[in-house]
Structure 1
Amino acid sequence: MKVYRNLKNGLFSVQYGGLVVAHLATVQLRGVSFKVAESGRQRVLAQRQKNVHAYAIGTFTTATQPTATEPISYDPYHAGHFFRMQDQEPIHHAAAVVLSQGKAYASVQSGLLF
């Protein structure tokens, strides 16, 4: 599943097979990779108009992810990758992610940061 924050409706859009299959207030994923399409980011920088180019990709789960408490973010004007809000360190993978109320929280373990 690919998930991104939908700026028009304030929810998280869930893509499967290239199609949006749901808009949810909360999404929980495990085995997550964070992907940023650099060409889409460059369009944002050039046009100053946001587009969908950054995703959390993982396996959907309904199980509570108690370790997903590290706030993370993505800002195309700040960097070309997702980052930990605490120290601005890049994050490319996480064991678990909770997306809720427009915010993202990851289970960040030292072995998963690179």
Structure 2
Amino acid sequence: MLHLREEQTIEIGQKIRVYRNLHKNMFSIQDATTKKVIGYGEGILLKNVKFRVQKKGQDKVRKTQQKSVHAFVVGEFAGIKTEVLDDYEYIYYNPYTTEKFVISVTHEEIDECKSCFLIHNKCYAKS
């Protein structure tokens, strides 16, 4: 499910940044170039993905104990899916306990992957 802001579009292959929006209980989608929020959604499929954590933002969250947007999944928009895809591993980021995004099962840090799927406020990666 994708809700685009008025007069905004998203194309297959467009580079976007996605982050978890705690107020809307879904993901916010930004154009990677302009950093402007173009929409909100669930079931977002990305290709050629990089996981980014802004160190200054992370430090501020740890110091103030107040959440702020500083971690992103960056990649090329590849479509919308409604169910978790096979062969994808659950990954997460917690500013209080991890430095970067990590694979849940192995606790290994992950910086990039071929494909990523974001649904139900969770992130799944495929190498």
Cα deviation, 1:8-63, whole Å, max 9, x if unaligned, reads 11110000111000010221100000000000000000000010000000000127
Percent pairwise identity: 31
CA RMSD across the alignment:
1.6
Match of 2:94 among 75, 95, 102: 75
| Structure 1 residue runs of 4 or more that deviate by more than 4 Å after TM superposition | 63-68
Contact 2:93 2:100 in 1 (8 A): yes
Q: Which amino acid in the other structure matches residue 30 of structure 2? A: Q
Counterpart amino acid of 1:60?
F
Q: Tell me the secondary structure at the aligned position of residue 55 of structure 1.
A: strand
2:35 is equivalent to residue 18 of structure 1: yes
Partner of 2:23: 8
Is 2:110 aligned against 1:95? no
- Single out whichever of 32-41 and 59-68 deviates more from structure 2: 59-68
Given that 2:44 and 2:80 are in contact with CA atoms closer than 8 Å, whether structure 1 keeps it comes out as: no
Q: Which of 45, 61, 67 is 2:78 aligned to? A: 61
Which residue is equivalent to 1:47? 64
Alignment-mate amino acid for residue 78 of structure 1:
T
TM-score by length of 2: 0.80
Change (3 A) 1:43 1:68: farther
* Structure 1 stretches lacking a partner, 5+ long: 109-114
The separation in 2 between residues aligned to 1:24 and 1:66, in whole angstroms, is: 17
**Take 1:66 and 1:25, find their aligned partners in 2: how far apart are those partners?**
13
Letter in 2 for 1:7: L
Q: Higher Cα Rg: structure 1 or 2?
A: 2
What TM-score do you get using the length of structure 1 for normalisation? 0.89
Aligned length: 108
